Structure 1
Amino acid sequence: MSTVIAQPVEARLVAAAPRMQSIPATLRYDRSDPFAVRMTFPAPATLENVEVCWTFSRELLAAGLHDQAGEGDVRVRPYGYDRTVLEFHAPQGTAIVHVRSGEIRRFLDATGDLVPVGLEHQHMDLDRELAELMRDAC
């Protein structure tokens, strides 16, 4: 069984980089980092013309399907019948994208099959994480 899920999604750009209405993005989940989700946008969709990857919690993405979630750089909320809004706040500006809620649900279902919600701690390599923290502290 694969330890990584990468699912392409179509994101409809609402703000920032106005030259592009619809952009291909990728939602990614790695069992070795079980609490995190990554959403990557290709270079042509960004103001700096470089690929951009946002990392946020799987819990935030799931909560945002049903109600407004997030207070920091990433915020998620439902929009209409089958859309979810993701807001990405950075010093350079804010990007707002709409993604079909069904695509997000399928992605979250797949991540749940890989690492069930509530059992993320069983997939963490605490020794490796501690070693990285200690290395960075020196």
Structure 2
Amino acid sequence: MNSFVHKTLVAQLQAGDTDRFPVLAHLTYDAADPFAVTAVFSHDGRVLADWRLDRDMLREGLRRPVGEGDVRLRPVSRGVWKELRMELLGDTRSDGSRQHALVFWWAPALSAFLHRTHGIVPPGRERVRIDDFLADLLAGS
């Protein structure tokens, strides 16, 4: 059985007051890190951002608004089109404002990806191997 899932989706990025434009979102789930989904956003062969997202938060964000920190999610409906709106807040600029971007996902595609991850590690069955975590932590000090 595979211990990881990878899927490339087309998402829409909106930075500032600009119109949306398509970007590739390379999603990866690895059972060795069962709580996280890695999202690498790219455009024209360049990596724009690399984020680690909470898998449960993504699942919940498809149903209701979630998040209070640097990542905020909420479902959005535009007619029959269902999306997940992800707001990403980045580093503070010199003027005190924060970098800000919106990513819009087609909700059924993201839901299908998450469903595949649940086949590897069902929600609520995630386990952290504390001995491995402590060994890695102590090796780095």
Instruction: Report how many residues are paired.
Output: 132
Equivalent position of 1:90 in the other structure: 90
CA contact 1:43–1:52 (8 Å) conserved in 2: no
The root-mean-square deviation of aligned C-alpha atoms, in Å, is: 2.2
Equivalent position of 1:115 in the other structure: 121
**Which of the pair is proportionally richer in helix?**
1
Equivalent position of 2:139 in the other structure: 135
| CA drift at 1:125 | 2.8
| CA drift at 1:67 | 0.8
Letter in 2 for 1:127: D
Bigger mean CA offset, 65-74 vs 8-17: 8-17
Equivalent position of 2:129 in the other structure: 125
Equivalent position of 1:74 in the other structure: 71
State the 4+ residue runs in structure 1 displaced beyond 3 angstroms: 16-20
Q: Quote the Cα distance in structure 1 between the aligned partners of 2:55 and 2:72.
A: 12
The sequence identity of aligned pairs, in percent, is 32
- Gapped regions of structure 2 (runs ≥ 5): 94-98
Distance 1:16 1:30, change over 3 A: farther
- Gapped regions of structure 1 (runs ≥ 5): none
Equivalent position of 2:15 in the other structure: 15
**Which of the pair is proportionally richer in strand?**
2
| CA drift at 1:135 | 2.5
| CA drift at 1:7 | 0.9
